[in-house]
Amino acid sequence: MDDNPLRYEPVAADGAARAGLLWTPRGVIATPCFMPVGTRATVRAVDSADLERLGIQVVLANTYHLMLRPGVEVVAQLGGLHAFSGWDGHILTDSGGFQVFSLEPKVDDDGVTFRSTYDGSSHRLTPETAVAIQADLGADIQMVLDVCPPLPSSTQVVRRAVDRTADWAARAADAFAERRREGSTQALFGICQGGVDEALRAESAERTVAVGFDGYGIGGLSVGEPRHQMLPALAAATAVLPADQARYLMGVGDPRGLVEAVGLGVDMFDCVLPTRFGRHGTILTSAGRVNLRNAVHLTSDEPLDPSCGCAVCARYSRGYLRHLRMVNEPTVARLCTLHNLHWLGELVGDARAAVLDGRFEAFRAEVAAVWE
């Protein structure tokens, strides 16, 4: 990947934590950044105009879901994901590996066969078809197809996942190089695996870097293991990853985990947490989680978070939003999602500001005092 269309520009560092700018053919992403999950080419309960108003920089979309519904050919015929979803900001597609490996698929050296959760039909992904499908989807950043074992898994299972992920990384890079020769301006990120075994994490990161990608994902973490196991494994990977390229911790978006990972040098995050929480009435606030259903909010004229500057907090009281939640009015899912996305975006922005100001450790400690 000699002509990397991405350029990671370091802006400041504070310990291992870093603030940067990720330049792409589409524009620039200030890092660290949080990417809302738009599984089916929409972030659940909100629309692209909402994301614009929130100042979202990058949205994730899901290859597994989109190849099944509406089908990659439909998205391609409608101009690719950006035109399809009316979203001019950045898009990153995951390869579908994470979803597929949660379905007890049949894995062989060549690829993986799985059944659709929509209609039971059989489908197959290989490193090469994952590249081809994501090329048709047309996101700004592709992810390689990796092997993502559940945790806990035996060392043997994790070792085999690391080996297969490395083999598949090389094949994906070859397939992608062909696309780039044909003029593609997409980027491709490798993914390192290795479970919570620090040696395997370091090895997987080294082998992924040896293939060479436009950026690096750290996958297979935040899948149920305790944080005291996750963070050393993450550190083992980030210690190996190139300082001049972006690092993306896949599936992490809880406030504490996110900030701890920034402290280990991670630049990019995605997670369903703020959107799923929002749909279920769990609110992220500066005082911690708030359950909107709690009767204490019945006549509260306070906003969701008194220190929040989002449009929802500017307009609506907890009492009103609780009412909407209790009678299952659909709009409350959107309003709580908007607040949670704004809140988490502010948290990441605050983390970036703390790095720029050289006070990241104090910031980390503040977050750790509120969030388990």
Which positions are annotated as active-site residues? Answer: 94, 270
C-alpha–C-alpha distance, residues 122 and 124, integer Å: 7
C-alpha–C-alpha distance, residues 288 and 319, integer Å: 18
Give 79 or 152: the residue with its C-beta nearer to a second copy. Answer: 79
- Give the residue, chosen from 10, 15, 77, 150, that forms a contact with a second copy under the rule CB under 8 A: 77
Strands (E), 53-153: 58-62, 90-94, 106-107, 112-115, 122-125, 141-143
How does 186-221 read in b/e, with b if 16+ C-beta sit within 10 Å?
bbbbbbbbbbbbbebbbbbbebbbebbbbbbbbbbb
Tally helices (H) and strands (E) across the chain. Answer: 15, 16
Choose the binding region for a second copy from 63-71, 105-113, 158-166, 359-367 (rule: CB under 8 A): 63-71
Choose the binding region for a second copy from 236-244, 282-290, 296-304, 339-347 (rule: CB under 8 A): 296-304
**Nearest distance, CB of residue 333 and a second copy, angstroms:** 6
Give 51 or 264: the residue with its C-beta nearer to a second copy. Answer: 51
C-alpha–C-alpha distance, residues 40 and 53, integer Å: 20
- The C-alpha torsion from 347 through 349 and 353 to 355, rounded to 10°, is 80
Give 72 or 200: the residue with its C-beta nearer to a second copy. Answer: 72
**Nearest distance, CB of residue 345 and a second copy, angstroms:** 18
Closest CA to 236 of 269, 268, 265, 271: 265
- Give the residue, chosen from 26, 40, 123, 179, that forms a contact with a second copy under the rule CB under 8 A: 40
Choose the binding region for a second copy from 137-145, 163-171, 179-187, 294-302 (rule: CB under 8 A): 294-302
Question: Using the rule CB under 8 A, is 326 a contact of a second copy?
Answer: yes
Question: Using the rule CB under 8 A, is 86 a contact of a second copy?
Answer: yes
Looking at 186-315, list the stretches that DSSP marks H as alpha helix, in order from N- to C-terminal side. 198-211, 227-238, 255-262, 273-279, 311-315
- Give the residue, chosen from 10, 286, 331, 368, that forms a contact with a second copy under the rule CB under 8 A: 331
**Nearest distance, CB of residue 24 and a second copy, angstroms:** 22
Q: Binding residues for a second copy, per CB under 8 A?
A: 40-42, 44-49, 65, 69-70, 74, 77-79, 84-86, 279, 298-299, 301, 311, 315-317, 319-320, 322-324, 326-327, 329-331, 333-335
